[in-house]
Amino acid sequence: MLFGEKEFLTEIEILSGGVKHPNIVTLLGFCIEASEMILIIDDFSNEFLDDYLGNLKDKRVLTWEKRLKICIDVAHALKYIHYEMEDQKTIINRDINCASIGLDENFGAKIIDFWWSIFLPPNQEDDTLYVDWIGRKFNIDPEYKKTGKLKRESDVYGFGVFLFEILCGRLASHLIYLKEGDIGLAHVARRSFSTGSLEEMIDPIIKEEIGENKFVLNRGPNKDSLHTFITIAHQCVAETQDQRPTMKVVVNKLEKALFFQNNNKDNPKMSLEDIKRVTQNFHGDNFIGGGGFGKVFKGNLQDGEGIKTIVAKRLDTRFGQGEQQFFSELQILLDYKHENVIGLVGYCDENDEKVLIYEYLSRGSLDRYLNDTSLTWVKRLNICIDVARALDFLHGGVGKQAKVIHRDIKTENILLNNDWKAKLADFGLSLICSINQETDYIIDHACGTRGYVDPLYRQSGFLTIESDIYSFGVVLFEILCGRSTFAIHKHEGHYLPDFIKNNFEEGTYAEVVFKQIREQIVPKSLTTFQEIAYQCLHLEREKRPTTKEVLVELKKALEFQSNSDVSIIETQVVELSSELNDMNMTGKSENSEIRNKEKMLLHQTDDQAESDCL
């Protein structure tokens, strides 16, 4: 066997064996002939990361934001090979370093080297292998080197060294980290962290200091971004494996650091003191609801426009829960603004307190009005259209941004203002996925609310935007039926999707319509609505409509209803006018009640025409 042939074949096996991720290199071909071994891979127009940190290329192009994004790209790739591959496979890379990271034309990062990688056997009770150590001297996990014990956390250590290389702008093997008994970058970083002098190690190209230990947003890191980055990097290079975080945690923290960096300007961050003042120190009289995430309070906030009512969601983080959901929702609400998405007023992340401040919508959540007769069919259709617009906006992405999968569409998360305008809320479970990624799904542990969640997602863990479509289909039928999926489950023994399916198969689908509004609905409006809602519940994702298609059909249903309502009103006006003319012809006195009714009907006609133009 040729020297290096075993490693060469290992890399081919991994890259051609189902490993598919936007941050892992694509194998285009290979050659093994005579003494030649060649891999054909993606072209990297910005070459490799070590070229910049090794001063072969101008590293001034690597702004702090770019460095963060490179770290996040690599972290996602490691998270994927550790936890998210099909058939429960796990790969330990064993060689995370700057030379193994290729940079495309947009400085997107991909892991290119699996030379020393190793598979962790599936279904093994212990996630540990005992193998002879191999790796780069200044990047290798010290516990693995000493004992031969190889775990996912060995990659985490190598990635921690990588993070400090990014932060310091030098490779781990730089001579500056080898003087006076030092044994590499990780050792120096741990010591500097414990003495509080780590800021001195930061690459001067990305740092601009003003005063004592303060940073401003220029090209460099802001204070919160820097602190979050350094803290997780330090945890990664802990000397023992059991002290290190998982790559899932690392991804979350790095995205938090990027969030702080991106939102340093016009930051709606509020002090805990201000929020306590607004909510009267979270007084019980201001409590309006709660759940697994924590408690919700109402308050009055003084701003430049006067006093306005707000809602404060105070997360319960006592058991380590909610932090990821907090920053996920915060990132989405700051980046994705739309008239049918709940508005963010501010937030607080201080002293272990995490609070989100939203606009106040006076009517509360839609689930309270499902069986309310004041919620007419036209109002219900407009609410459905509002939610469809929000989903179309989220699923379509914003410019070059990613698309958002809400993951918890339900009537409880649809809020209404005084004019019955609907806004989608609660993005704590939402996920952001790149529009340009090769796959259109995310592998994830199923989350959501029973009775709404896509059965394919629940069974397989494969999440797509069609999972939101399924949940929205449940909401559409709840609005039509005037009953929640939970009420149907309590009465029928199964949730709304099965209830609807049974009625459609038996041809009794007209009976599911809320009795109190049944007579309001014209047949063409009902048929159009039911057909698109039923398509949303299709078990095959490919046969579910897009949000754009749903929106088109809902608007048609409203148009059919509105045209019919106008015709009915106009007919009533003609009949009343005829009656008045007859009275005048016969010399009878004009009935003021009839005249007032005619004026009222004419006013309704004008209102309806105005509604059609919206």
Binding site for ATP, by residue number, is: 313
Q: Is 423 left (phi over 0), alpha (psi -120 to 50) or beta?
A: beta
Number of H helices, E strands in the chain: 19, 20
Q: How far is CA 165 from its chain centroid? A: 29
Burial class (CB in 10 A: 0-12, 13-18, 19+), 524: middle
**SS3 annotation, 479-533:** HHHCCCHHHHHHHHCCCHHHHHHHHHHCCCHHHHCCHHHHCCCCHHHHHHHHHHH
- Write the CB contacts of 372 (distance below 8 Å, at least 6 apart in sequence): none
Say whether 582 is catalytic: no
Residue 349 and residue 496: Cα distance in Å, rounded? 39
What are 405's two structure tokens? 């999968």
Among 113, 408, 454, 565, which one carries the catalytic annotation? 408
Residue 127 and residue 122: Cα distance in Å, rounded? 9
Provide the 3-class DSSP secondary structure of residue 269. strand
Residue 524 and residue 249: Cα distance in Å, rounded? 51
CB 164 within 8 A of CB 189: yes
Residues flagged as binding site: 313
The closest of 370, 183, 155 to 244, measured between CA atoms, is: 155
Say how many residues make up the chain: 614
Residue reference for tokens 């500097």: 192
Provide the 3-class DSSP secondary structure of residue 295. strand
Q: Which residues are catalytic?
A: 408
